[in-house]
Amino acid sequence: MKPSVLLARAVFPEIIEKLSQHFEVEANQDDIIYTPDELADKLRGKAGVLATASARFDAQTIGRAPDLKMVANMAVGYDNIDLAACTARGVMASNTPDVLNETTADFGWALLMATARRVTESEHWLRAGKWSKWSYDCFLGADVHGSTLGILGMGRIGQAIARRSMGFNMRVIYHNRSRLAAEQEREANNASYVSKDELLSTADHVILVLPYSPASHHTIGQAELAMMKPSATLVNLARGGIVDDVALIAALKEKRIAAAGLDVFENEPKFHPDFLTLENVVLTPHIASASEATRKAMAHRAADNLIAGLNGQRPPDLLNPAALPTA
């Protein structure tokens, strides 16, 4: 008998077909967001689950899924999975690194440009019928070319963003848990390693691409926003919770920074309603990796991990090798 797997969210039909060759598949094409109780119910009898960052696999959920052997996350981030709890129970976990680097970097650039050059704000104004004449000071923004780009979190996506800055003749500064090798810095538009404080006080445009963990919670709060230039922009591509949204709203309202571009929010898909009252913020619904090709690549990669893990092979993107069956 084939092992059973749960698809916790709707996926491309080709993924259901692919997984059905190996498993009994319970799909969720109505895309119901399961409550923790519903998820626990659905996981009963399932050897594996293909999940997204919207489903939490905490110690309680893992503890209520005695048949579970693998959680394959369709995301590079895995802050929704308690890896220690998985490992303690012998549940393998995987993510989908690399396949989304370039697409996410493209989007970081889109948000940066839209934020600095007030693209959505001016479009809303135009759509509202407010454009009656050209004027010298209509939606003045900040230059991107020739400016200083500060990247907080210089992993593979951060480096892909830095490479793109070469065409804009920018100076790149970065801060990361560890400094990159000299060769990597060179390829990342000769990026210079600086302290977090120097980055915040020097950059014209700050992009956040660091992973979320309890240690990175509210990495950008009131004190950090106060270090930024009043003309600076902030882009968050990483995870809600890295920025203190209440502090950011206050800084944007009081024009202590010029503008922000946000693809992620604390408690998303809910978000602080005050964002909607601000003109100097560009808001997008967690779509940085959402090109068709990349989302398909992520889904296939998650499926490949699940197939490997439940067929006795090492999943290519295994996050917790200590959970591998030892026999």
Q: Is 211 near ligand DGY (CB under 6 A)?
A: no
Q: At what angle do helices 292-310 and 101-116 cross, to 10 degrees?
A: 140
Q: Is 188 in the site for ligand DGY (CB under 6 A)?
A: no
Q: Which of 94, 289 has the CB closer to ligand DGY?
A: 289
Using CB under 6 A as the binding rule, the residues of this chain from 264 to 293 that contact ligand DGY are 289
Of the candidate spans 71-79, 118-126, 179-187, 311-319, the one that interacts with ligand DGY by CB under 6 A turns out to be 71-79
State the nearest-atom distance from the C-beta of 128 to ligand DGY, in Å. 32
Q: In what order do the strands lie in the sheet with 205-208?
A: 192-193, 171-175, 148-152, 205-208, 233-236, 259-262, 281-283
- Nearest approach in angstroms of CB 116 to ligand DGY is 22
Indicate which residues carry an active-site annotation.
239, 268, 286
75 counts as binding ligand DGY under rule CB under 6 A:
yes
- Pair of tokens at residue 326: 């030892």
Site for ligand DGY in 79-138 (CB under 6 A): 100
Q: Which of 75-83, 150-158, 182-190, 313-321 is the region at the interface with ligand DGY (rule: CB under 6 A)?
A: 75-83
Which of the stretches 26-34, 74-82, 158-166, 192-200 binds ligand DGY when contact is defined by CB under 6 A? 74-82
Q: How many whole angstroms separate alpha carbon 221 and alpha carbon 205?
A: 16
User: What's the CA gap between 228 and 256, in Å, rounded?
Assistant: 8
Interface with ligand DGY includes 76 (CB under 6 A)? yes
53 binds ligand DGY (CB under 6 A): yes
**β-pair partners for 57:** 81
Binding piece for ligand DGY, criterion CB under 6 A, among 69-77, 151-159, 184-192, 202-210: 69-77
Please, which residues bridge with residue 25 across strands?
A: 5
Q: Which amino acid is at 246?
A: V
Could you please report the per-residue DSSP string of 234-250?
EEE-S-TTSB-HHHHHH
Q: Are 70 and 315 in contact (CB under 8 A)?
A: yes
Q: Nearer to ligand DGY by C-beta: 3 or 77?
A: 77
Give per-residue burial for 134-159: e unless 16+ CB within 10 Å, then b: eeeeeeebbebeebbbbbbbbbbbbb
Choice between 202 and 289, CB closer to ligand DGY: 289
Shortest spacing between CB 151 and ligand DGY, in angstroms: 17
Q: Would you tell me which residues interact with ligand DGY (CB under 6 A)?
A: 53, 75-77, 100, 289
